[in-house]
Amino acid sequence: MSSAINVEDIRENFKEDKHLIFGFTPMCGTCKISERMLDIANEILKLPVKKIDLNFHPEFSEENKIMSVPVLMVMNKDKEMDRIYAFQSVPYLLEKLK
């Protein structure tokens, strides 16, 4: 198998009260910008983040009805609390993720 993350890894933070799942694809320019905004915001927030290339996780995308990338799922253990498709800005992300 390649260096692709397996599905078990996606669930790695499911014991955490608050954690993030960032879904992207490598060819997506907006994903790169959004990932940078997320990294900056998370330097402050210090939340566990799992970054996944959705090309390798079609079943995860389907199960979670992910419509586009980038996507940020705000999780409480294994429950999705919020979903962000439009990252807008670092202050916006900080506000949404508090």
Residue 6 located in a structural domain: no
Report pLDDT digits (tens) over 48-93. 999 999 999 999 999 999 999 999 999 999 999 999 999 999 999 9
**Domain total in the chain:** 1
* Residue 20 lies inside a defined structural domain of this protein: yes
**Domain span at 39:** 15-92
The pLDDT assigned to 5 comes to 56
Which CATH number does the domain housing residue 57 bear?
3.40.30.10
DSSP 11: T
Tokens of 55: 């090309």
Per-residue model confidence (pLDDT) at position 9: 81
Check whether 8 has a pLDDT greater than 90.
no
Mean pLDDT across the chain, nearest whole number? 92
Q: Is residue 45 part of a domain?
A: yes
Distance in angstroms (rounded) separating the CA atoms of residues 67 and 20? 17
Give me the residues paired with residue 71 across strands: 23
